[in-house]
Amino acid sequence: MLSNFHLPPIQQIKSFIAQRANIEIHVLRLDLIHPYINGNKWFKLKYNLLAAEAQRNTTILTFGGAYSNHIFATAAAGNLFGLRTIGVIRGEERLPLNATLQFAVSQQMELVYLDRKTYRQRATVELHEQLKERFGEVFIIPEGGANLYGVQGCTEILQELPGVEEFNIICVPCGTATTLVGLALSLHQQQMVMGFPVLKGGEFLVDECDRLGKNYLANHKFSSGRFLAPWKLVCNYHFGGYGKVKPALMAFCQKFADEHGIPLDYIYTGKMFYGIMDLLQKGFFSSGSRLLLIHTGGLQGNTGIDSTCLQESFWLSYGNFDHELRSYTWC
Ligand SMILES: *Cc1c(COP(=O)(O)O)cnc(C)c1O
């Protein structure tokens, strides 16, 4: 199943401020593991797809917005592994389809639209029954891959990465926080996770993380002597909320890509990297800290917002990437 995937490289950010403060910042490039099924979305899909296979279910149905990275990755994975996929999209159909949905259709995903009110029922048994009546026996993956199979996959993000125990702070952007919980379940002693919610009022995720972590550890199918490492959320870098993009954020992403050769998406990674660079300037991290920033991918989403440079430079650099660490200078 994994034959098309690369081990993600870890790349160090050269920053004068970090150096002066005796702090190291490294980036785990999950955006480079696969051209389409990249970032944390692959990890959230993996055990869902294996569970579908174990149930001999060859149709995957899942939910997402019109720009969803999860819809994009599910469509690609379905196509790659020979599964039928149905994407239930929030809101009305808009033609022409945006780049995300065009891609999904090109990967043979069938799209179905639900008005926003009905879409809110996406996690209810009633709606699932209706969808099964319409499409037959389908394996339902929740929006964003946010279930215990998703957590299970995310416990593998740091697996097999040489030297990963040397980092003491792991940083990740959060939507549902499934990825954060998976990471927190896979850490060594003395390590912690810092999550950056991209939704406004991300404080609600605190209970959600507790719930997911406890359910995972209580479920014999999943828990294997793991513990939940300490985690914290930094809730003030949402830039107005989910899908909201400010010029300052776009400018930061462009500059960061130029200086460090790492493209960022505006919805998730851009906000986290902005937050970290800002906290660094404010003296938030203590001397000797070694940070590992998870680049969770999501670059396909930039096309809808900025169809010019970032996306193109990403595909070009993907083709030429040779897994060597380049050195960068901070100006
Ligand atoms: C979906 C997504 C996230 C959020 O992951 P959660 O597990 O829902 O917190 C973060 N970054 C990117 C790029 C994503 O596509």
**Is there a domain that residue 2 lies in?**
no
At residue 84, the 3 state secondary structure works out as strand
160 plus 300 within the same structural domain:
yes
How does pLDDT run across 68-92, given as a tens digit for each residue?
999 999 999 999 999 999 999 999 9
The domain boundary, picked from 116, 145, 174, lies at 145
Same domain membership, residue 168 and residue 196: yes
Query: What percent of the chain clears pLDDT 90, i.e. is strictly above it?
Result: 84
| Region at 29 (left for phi over 0; alpha for psi -120 to 50; beta for the rest) | beta
Same-domain status, 123 and 166:
no
Q: Which residues 6+ apart lie within 8 Å of 157 measured at CB?
A: 28, 30, 40, 43, 179, 182, 183, 186, 294
Does residue 5 form part of some domain? no
Residue 284 identity (one-letter amino acid): F
Confidence of residue 6 (pLDDT cuts 50, 70, 90): confident
Q: Is the pLDDT of residue 219 over 80?
A: yes
Distance CA 172, CA 295 (A): 8
Q: For residue 13, report the distance from its CA to the centre of ligand 1, in Å.
A: 22
- Would residue 4 count as lying in a domain? no
Whether residue 282 has pLDDT greater than 90? yes
Task: Please give the residue range of the domain that contains residue 297.
Answer: 10-33+154-328
Residue 317 has pLDDT above 90, yes or no: no
CA of residue 48 to ligand 1 center, whole Å: 16
Same domain membership, residue 54 and residue 174: no
- Rounded CA-CA distance 113/92 in Å is 6
Q: What is the mean pLDDT of residues 300-329?
A: 41
pLDDT digits (tens, 9 = 90+) for 133-186: 999 999 999 999 999 999 999 999 999 899 999 999 999 999 999 999 999 999
The residue assigned the tokens 């979305």 is: 41
pLDDT band at residue 123 under the 50/70/90 scheme: very high
Q: 160 and 141, same structural domain?
A: no
Indicate whether 117 and 168 sit together in one domain.
no
Say yes or no: 163 and 271 in one domain: yes
Same domain, 19 and 85: no
Q: Are residues 116 and 263 in the same domain?
A: no
| Same domain (yes/no): 232, 313 | yes
Q: Does 316 have pLDDT greater than 50?
A: no
In this prediction the pTM is: 0.90
Q: Which residue ranges have their beta carbon within 6 Å of ligand 1?
A: 39-41, 69-70, 144, 146, 173-180, 265, 268-269, 296-298
Which CATH number does the domain housing residue 168 bear?
3.40.50.1100
34, 40, 185, best to mutate for ligand 1 pocket (most atoms within 8 Å of CB): 40
**Which residue from 200, 314, 195 is spatially nearest to 253, judged by alpha carbons?**
314
Helix (H, G, I), strand (E, B) or coil at 88: strand
Query: Which of 119, 145, 171 is where one domain is finished?
Result: 145
